[in-house]
A and B are shown apart, each in its own frame.
Chain A
Amino acid sequence: MVVSARAISPIEHPKLHLEEVLSQDDVHRIHQASLEVIETVGVRFPSDRALDILEEAGATVDRQSQIARIPGQVVVEALAKAPPSYVLCARDPALDLSLDGEHSYLSTDGCGVEVIDLETGERRRSTKQDVAESARVADYLPQIAFYWPLVAAQDCPPETRSLHELEAAWNNTTKHVQTECVITAREAQAAIEMASAIVGGRQELRKRPILSIMQCTISPLGQDGGSLEAALVAAQAGIPVGFMTMASCCSTAPATLAGNLVVGNAEVIAVSALIELAYPYSMPPLRRPWTCTRGPIPAAGRRTTSLEQPPTNWPTFTGYHSPWAPLPPEQRSPIGKPPWIIPSLA
């Protein structure tokens, strides 16, 4: 294993503290309401494997609706098994990321669909080569701590596109790679094989997972079946998995900020509990609820920040997303998201 003299430039000792945004009582109430929603309303898990695990742990499962109502205590006990801090490993150990609460890191965002060609200036659909080139740029920049495939490899078959994106990433960066495009068990198995081949086997991968996987929920209060299966496969192999809520005010979540928080939080901690029930002591890079708010970046940023306060000391993954920010056309990113960098708070 080659250890370089390179280094990541993290944001050290982030100054934003929980009590500056929400009081301890606010956080407690949101957490309790989330547990109540999980226990009484339930969350949809469209996967027999997931439902089996939850039922065995004490959840009431309706097989027809695929909704599991999980006792709050089961959720709390499962989440307690998640490590409070851990390291996102890079192929180059000098670029490992310590999620210890004292460092924040920036990454690329992902899944853009168009690029402005550097050579021709043409605006066109993104390709695998664009993934490769953006990974190389991200690899060079010390401020970028880990890499999400920035755009989609649309010249590759949909069924294996996520794997092509990982190949292009790993061929061009030695930083930690995270993807949100692995959404089937089959893709997850293949991605794990690829990562194992790079680090020297399954056991080595378990010791130093150079890959982590993010999944999206189906708000309100639902999960995606393929993503659940992929997450369970990844967690079994020791790959960190995380979930981000898609709760959005007035469409997939309540209009109130508190209601929004509760719905998003319920989705994320319910599925994180599933992972810990299946594979205790797994390392989920928990992504707290965020709201996709149509509005200027500063407003969305403030709103997002207020949503990112964890009720415990779990590692937190967060992002500024304001994809429809009404910026003048000349300031809009070709991938439709003004900021191509999102912060990841640890």
Chain B
Amino acid sequence: MGELFAKGEYFLPDLVIGAKAMEEAMAVLESELRRRQETRRTYGKVVIGTVQGDIHEIGKNLVATLLSVNGFEVLNLGVDVPDETFIAKVKETGANVLGMSALLTTTMPAQGRVIQALEEAGIRDKVKVIIGGAPATQSWADEIGADGYSEDAVGAVALARQLLGVV
């Protein structure tokens, strides 16, 4: 479905419906895994959220869902996430990837502030930072020192895989 979405053949509702079906299937599978005392192997832990002052979450949730159904363990912090919460959760979970979304040009600077805060906390090299949101661009990612940018959810999954060296 992701490929068809990327090609413009599937639309957002198709993706939402597909992701919802996959989420429900994963719940059944994970329940069975627990019963067998087995755990799902994941490619890595992702902490994701919409930055402080911004309450837009559709795109961010799509990214979180697609990452989850593509083998990542995802902690979705929701919207209007304070800078310090991102830092605390990255430390607490040992996340491999931090994803930050911003829909407004006025809230985008928070993405840069959090990256700066990761530096100051001495953990910048422990986590790959990916950003997204309508006003975000590759040049903005470069400017604030993010490790990657994707313009859509399908690309975000590929980006996370690439950054973690998942073949």
Instruction: Please name all residues of chain B whose beta carbon is closer than 8 Å to the beta carbon of A47 when the two chains form the complex.
Output: none
Instruction: Please name all residues of chain B whose beta carbon is closer than 8 Å to the beta carbon of A114 when the two chains form the complex.
Output: 137
Q: List 8 A-B contacts (CB under 8 A).
A: A113-B137, A125-B137, A154-B105, A158-B109, A159-B106, A224-B55, A248-B58, A295-B11
Q: How many residues of B contact A (CB 8 A)?
A: 17
Q: Cα distance A326–B16 when bound, in Å?
A: 18
B3 to chain A, nearest CB (A): 14
Contact of A249 among B8, B13, B140 (CB under 8 A): B13
Residue of A nearest to B140 (CB): A125
Contact of A294 among B12, B55, B134, B137 (CB under 8 A): B12
Chain A, range 279-311, C-beta contacts under 8 Å to B: 293-295
Let me know if A113 and B105 touch, CB within 8 A. Answer: yes
- Asked whether A152 and B105 contact (CB < 8 A) given A248-B12, A326-B8, the answer is yes
Mark contacts of B134-155 with chain A using CB atoms, 8 A cut-off: 1 yes-contact digit, 0 otherwise. 1101011000000000000000
Residue of B nearest to A295 (CB): B11
Let me know if A125 and B11 touch, CB within 8 A. Answer: no
**Does residue A75 face the partner (Cβ distance < 8 Å to B)?**
no
Instruction: Please name all residues of chain B whose beta carbon is closer than 8 Å to the beta carbon of A255 when the two chains form the complex.
Output: 13
Let me know if A252 and B58 touch, CB within 8 A. Answer: yes
Interface centre among A113, A114, A224 (most CB of B within 10 A): A113
Instruction: Please name all residues of chain B whose beta carbon is closer than 8 Å to the beta carbon of A158 when the two chains form the complex.
Output: 105-107, 109
Q: Cα distance A336–B134 when bound, in Å?
A: 9
Which residues of A pack against B, CB within 8 Å?
A: 111, 113-114, 123-125, 152, 154, 158-159, 161, 218, 224, 248-252, 255, 293-295, 323-324, 326, 336
Let me know if A250 and B105 touch, CB within 8 A. Answer: no
Instruction: Please name all residues of chain A whose beta carbon is closer than 8 Å to the beta carbon of B11 when the two chains form the complex.
Output: 293-295
Q: Cα distance A123–B139 when bound, in Å?
A: 10
Residue of A nearest to B106 (CB): A158
Q: Cα distance A295–B11 when bound, in Å?
A: 7
Given contacts A114-B137, A125-B140, 5 further A-B pairs with CB under 8 A are A113-B105, A113-B137, A224-B55, A251-B13, A295-B11
A64 to chain B, nearest CB (A): 18
Instruction: Please name all residues of chain B whose beta carbon is closer than 8 Å to the beta carbon of A251 when the two chains form the complex.
Output: 12-13, 16, 58
Q: Cα distance A152–B16 when bound, in Å?
A: 30
Instruction: Please name all residues of chain B whose beta carbon is closer than 8 Å to the beta carbon of A224 when the two chains form the complex.
Output: 55
B93 to chain A, nearest CB (A): 27
Q: Cα distance A161–B135 when bound, in Å?
A: 15
